[in-house]
Amino acid sequence: MTHTPDGDVVARVDAGAMLSLLDELSATVTGDFSVQDILQELAEGIVDLLGLAGAGVSTPSPRGELLVVAYATQRRVEQLDRVQEALQAGPAPDAHASGRVVASPDLAVEGEWPHFQERATELGLPSVTAVPLRARGEALGVLTLYRAEPVPLGRAELAAARTLANLAASYLVVAIDREAAALAQGELAHQAAHDPLTGLPTRRVFFEQLDEALTLVRRDLSTVGVLFIDVDGLKRVNDTYGHALGDQLLLTCAERIRAALRPDDLLARLAGDEFVVVLEHLASADVACAVAQRICDSLALPMLTEGHVLQPSASIGIAVSDEPGVTSDLLVSQADAAMYRAKRRRKGSFQLFDPIVHASEQAEAISYEQLSSELETAIREEQLEVHYQPILEIMDPRIGSARPDPLTVPGSLYAVEALVRWRHPRHGLLSAGAFIGAAVRSGLIVELGAWVLRTACRQLVTWDAVLGRRAPRRLFVNVSPAELSDPGLLERITRDLTAAGLAGDRLTLEITENGPLDSSTFPAEVIDGLRRLGCHLAIDDFGTGHSTLGRVVEIPASVLKIDQSFSNALPGSLESAAVISSALLLGHNLRRTVVVEGVETEEALRALQELGTTHFQGFHLALPQHPDALTDAILESAGAGERRAAGRLGA
């Protein structure tokens, strides 16, 4: 029968041995020992002190619901404690639950744990005493003491066991807190060194590894490479499907990139959609290029997630060096420059840094800065031109490049977009992309926009006179946010329309979606003024900026122009097809015209027509042209159409 010993058995405890054991336990704390060290010292020390057959310590599981074996002085003790762990029954679990000493001097004749008692008798450990380990009101475990004879602990022995258990419990608290603090510190260090989304090393770890690799370059004359990887289209995925899907895209890209690397290569996430790789011990730059090609091939495979098929890709820049003086910042900047060159060349490709090409690009950048100071002269001395690209309305899906020129189809010329060009005295004809940035930086963007609007309105009048009913009915003119907020915008538009004798509904102002598009982008007085004039608004590059499809409801635009990145991906991209379909449906429901830009192939045209697109713009159908050239093209197309019509009538 289980009982709490009352100390009737007379036994002596060696006071010197007791003091020695207390000192040893104290040393486990002051010596920064672990929880396991304390448990081991306690179990082995009390066996020697009391002349026991063995002792074991059990502690709560991490969740605290089970008592599990932590240490045993010998195999027989561990086997018995494992029985208690498996059954969660025995003197140790009872002592842990009650907080009191539980003892059974003779398990052969008394106890409440038949299986445990039978196994203890078989193992020759018939006497057991379980002493709880408690501190700060917490149950920290149980010290279980075994004897080979059915003899209980005496009063002094039990007192010594309790003293040692209490002291060990107080030391356990210190050790547990210390280990928890160390674990937390280690977790913080891990978090600081690893990206929370992908688990990859961070910028700091990357640069530390790269610095170390470059040290080996100086010492061992080895070659080091850096891959700078930029995931293409992440912003579009975030804006279209949400950041959760964007995060999944990044995770998939990280996994595929890691799988394409060599075993010792280091992959890190630099920021946002940027990853970097350290390549050590390269035999040549060709090895780095081979790794980059594997990454490109892997990322080119479609990704299916949450019912969406995404087509990930990445632009990769490569920089390698075997020169002792190269720094990590320089190597990364070279890889970054090569990445941008790859992105300009073709998304989903890689480029190796070329110092000669880079020097040339820097020279171009310097001349680009010089454009700012030359642009004012260009406006004053009439070096600028306006070219016009047709926007076509093709209702008949049979019409394509294999059919008659779409311009010959009645009503197919929906509008023309005015595109400024600069006939530079040294650089030749420059497209707007080469100098619009200079116009913004120099503060000339408003003056430039005013010149384009005035010139385009005059050209529309000329076309009316020359082409009659074949003249473009609508004129699209790009305006910047700076122009929209310019107090003189409405006055200029009114003056130019009046001077040209044009109705306001023939003018559409096209705003690039390069910032948040909401009511704050369009001042109320501007909207009211444009409405009184009958003018329209169009959102350019729709789908790539800050607006979502749903927010178009809040934007006073009658035309949505879908960015060319979507049409360029057709017919192979289900993602792009889904975006275009959604925009078409939205435009239909809101009675807004949807124009798809960047139609550059017959295949893309066919795919867009199958989706229900009716308004197109792109090189495949019509190039931007000088107004005289476009006039000739329209007249020629009209003549050809009339000849074909006459032929049909004659037949």
Contact 579, 548 (CB under 8 A): no
How far apart CA 470 and CA 466 sit, in angstroms, is 9
The string of pLDDT tens digits covering residues 269-281 is 988 889 999 999 9
How far apart CA 526 and CA 365 sit, in angstroms, is 36
In our burial notation (b when 16+ CB lie closer than 10 A, e otherwise), range 560-598 reads bbbbbbbbbbbbebbbbbbbbeebbebbeeeebbbbbbb
Model's pTM, two decimal places?
0.47
Cα three-residue angle 185-188-194, rounded to 5 degrees? 140
CB neighbourhood size of 4 (10 A): 10
CB neighbourhood size of 105 (10 A): 21
| Residue 436 in this model has a pLDDT that exceeds 50 | yes
| Residue 546 in this model has a pLDDT that exceeds 70 | no
In this structure, of 343-347, 469-473, 476-480, the range with the lowest mean pLDDT score is 343-347
Judge residue 44's burial from the number of C-beta atoms within 10 Å of its C-beta, 0-12 exposed, 13-18 middle, 19 or more buried.
middle
Q: DSSP per residue over 594-605, as a string?
A: EEE----SHHHH
Judge residue 254's burial from the number of C-beta atoms within 10 Å of its C-beta, 0-12 exposed, 13-18 middle, 19 or more buried.
buried
| Residue 56 in this model has a pLDDT that exceeds 80 | yes
Instruction: For residues 283-288, give the mean pLDDT.
Output: 91
Judge residue 481's burial from the number of C-beta atoms within 10 Å of its C-beta, 0-12 exposed, 13-18 middle, 19 or more buried.
middle
Give the Å distances, CA to CA, from 529 to 446, 474, 494, 525, 557: 18, 19, 9, 6, 14
> Higher-confidence residue: 41 or 385?
385
Judge residue 525's burial from the number of C-beta atoms within 10 Å of its C-beta, 0-12 exposed, 13-18 middle, 19 or more buried.
exposed
Give 318's pLDDT tier (boundaries 50, 70, 90): very high
How far apart CA 67 and CA 85 sit, in angstroms, is 6
Joined tokens for residue 167: 């002291």
The string of pLDDT tens digits covering residues 602-643 is 889 999 999 999 999 998 888 889 999 899 888 887 765 555
| Residue 162 host element (H or E) | helix 155-193
Give 316's pLDDT tier (boundaries 50, 70, 90): very high
Give 534's pLDDT tier (boundaries 50, 70, 90): very high
Contact 499, 457 (CB under 8 A): yes
Residue recorded with tokens 């009503």: 411
pLDDT at res. 647:
45
Domains of the chain in sequence order? 15-190 (3.30.450.40), 203-353 (3.30.70.270), 365-627 (3.20.20.450)
Give the Å distances, CA to CA, from 569 to 297, 313, 516: 17, 12, 25
Find all residues with CB under 8 Å of 99, minimum gap 6, and list them: 132, 134, 139
| Percent with pLDDT over 70 in the chain | 84
| Residue 204 in this model has a pLDDT that exceeds 60 | yes
Residue recorded with tokens 């700012």: 372
Average per-residue pLDDT for the chain: 82
Hey, which bits of 101-147 come out as E strands? 102-104, 127-135, 138-147
> Higher-confidence residue: 260 or 373?
260
Residue at 4: amino acid letter? T
In this structure, of 184-193, 400-409, 628-637, the range with the lowest mean pLDDT score is 400-409
Positive/negative CA dihedral, 174, 176, 179, 180: negative
In this structure, of 83-92, 179-188, 385-394, 398-407, the range with the lowest mean pLDDT score is 398-407
Positive/negative CA dihedral, 286, 290, 296, 299: negative
Residue at 503: amino acid letter? A
How far apart CA 17 and CA 316 sit, in angstroms, is 71
Contact 91, 55 (CB under 8 A): no
Give 108's pLDDT tier (boundaries 50, 70, 90): confident
The string of pLDDT tens digits covering residues 303-314 is 887 778 888 888
pLDDT at res. 397:
67
3-state secondary structure of 419: strand
